[in-house]
Amino acid sequence: MNRLQWAMALACAGYGAIATAAPGDLDLTFGGTGIAIADFGTAADRGQSLALSGTDVVIGGYTGYFTDADFVYQRLNDAGLPQLGFTHTFNGDPASGHTAEKVLVDGSGRIVLLGPVNGRYDNAEIGILRLLPDGITPDATFDGDGELVIDVGTDARAFDAVFDGSGNIVLAGTDGTNGIVARVTPAGALDATFGTAGIATIPGQAGQSVAIDGSGRIVVASSNLLNLSGTQVTRMTSTGALDGTFGAGGTFGVAVNGGYALLVDGSDRVVVVGTTPGAASFSVARLTTAGALDATFNGTGLS
C-alpha cells in the first residue's frame, strides 16, 4: 500500500487557516500532526489534486494498479478529519484504468473529477464525473447520469481543468496525437460554439495546464507530446481560436520543460513552471500580456 502521495498532498493542504505554529511549521491543529492520511485499502493510492470547499479540503486521485484503477475522492474538515470518501468505477467497468487527475468544486458546491478512463496506458478516453454537494450522489443534470466520456483520437487524456466565467469546464490534455482544449457546458455536453465541436487542437503537443485570464481568454501550457521537452504557451480566444495578439500567432515557446503548472496573475501576465533543461532543478518563466519573456522578472523573464 502506497500512501506517500496522499500524505504529502494532505500535509500541504494543512495550510492552517487558524494555525498557531510559526510560519512554515506543520499545523498541529490539522490531523494532530499537520499530516492527514487517506487509505483506500490494499492497492496503491495516489492523491493528484486539491481543492477547497469552504474550510474543507477536497482531494481527488485514484487507487489501483495498471488497468484496474478507480477514481477516488476524499473530503477532510479544517481539523484534518475525514468527512467522507469513496471510489468510483467509470461506466461500471472495473477492468479498466480510471485515474482522476483533477478535482474542482463549483460555485454550487458540486464536485468535479476528471482524467483518463477506460485504459490507463493506452486507448484511453477522457472521463468527467460531477457529484452533488453531498459528495456521493452523481449529478443527474450532468449528461443524464453525472458522467461524461469524451472519446477523441487514439488515446485521449486530460491533465488539468478550470471553470470559466460561465461555469463551463475548460480542460487541457491530448488526443494521442495533438494537444487538445475542450469546453464542456454545465449540462455535461461539449460546447459546439468552441473550437470544432467543442474541441480546439494544439499540433504535436500535450496540454499540461490551463488557466483563464481576466478577459476570458484561455491560456494553456503544453509540452512536446513525444518527450515532454520544452513548453509552448498558447492563448486562445473564448471561441477556441488562436489569439494573434499573443506571441507568434497565438503561441510562445519557453525554455522550460514540461509546463506542468500555469497561472495568470492580476495583470494577465502568464507564469509557468517546469523542469530546467539539462539540470536537476525547476524553472519559472513569466510572460508579458503580449506573449514575450517579461524582463522585469529576474532580468530575463526566467528564474
State pLDDT tens for residues 208-220: 999 999 999 999 9
Across residues 287-302, what is the average pLDDT?
Answer: 97
Q: Domain span at residue 241?
A: 4-260
In a domain, 270, yes or no: no
At 9 the pLDDT is 47
Confidence of residue 18 (pLDDT cuts 50, 70, 90): very low
Percent of the chain with pLDDT over 90: 70
Q: What is the pLDDT of residues 239-294, one digit of tens each?
A: 999 999 999 999 999 999 999 999 999 999 999 999 988 887 899 999 999 999 99
Does a structural domain hold residue 299?
A: no
- Over range 58-85, report the average pLDDT: 87
At 151-208, the pLDDT tens digits run 999 999 999 999 999 999 999 999 999 999 999 999 999 999 999 999 999 999 999 9
As a whole number of angstroms, the distance between CA 263 and CA 209 comes to 9
In a domain, 291, yes or no: no
Q: How far apart are CA 217 and CA 236, in angstroms?
A: 6
Cβ neighbours of residue 24 closer than 8 Å, sequence gap 6 or more = none
Domain count within the chain: 1
Q: How confident is the model at residue 86 (pLDDT cuts 50, 70, 90)?
A: confident
Q: Do the domain assignments include residue 236?
A: yes
* CATH code at position 247: 2.120.10
Least confident span in 16-30, 63-77, 152-166? 16-30
- pLDDT-wise least confident of 54-58, 118-122, 154-158: 118-122
Spatial strand order in the sheet of 205-212: 205-212, 218-224, 231-236, 251-254
Q: How far apart are CA 198 and CA 105, in angstroms?
A: 22
Average pLDDT, the chain: 89
Per-residue pLDDT, 224:
92
The answer to whether 290 and 235 are in contact (CB under 8 A) is: no
In a domain, 295, yes or no: no
Q: Model confidence at 233, in pLDDT bands (50, 70, 90)?
A: very high
What pLDDT score was predicted for residue 92? 60
Q: So what's the pLDDT on residue 228? A: 80
pLDDT for 93 equals 64
Q: Indicate if the pLDDT at residue 223 is higher than 90.
A: yes
Residue 83: pLDDT band with limits 50, 70, 90: confident
- Under 8 Å between Cβ of 70 and 62: yes
| Residue 274 forms part of a structural domain | no
Distances (CA, A) of 238 to 3, 193, 249: 40, 9, 16
Q: Establish if 268 belongs to a structural domain.
A: no
Output phi, psi for 4, to 5 deg: -60, -50
Residue 20: what pLDDT?
52
Residue 303 counted as domain residue: no
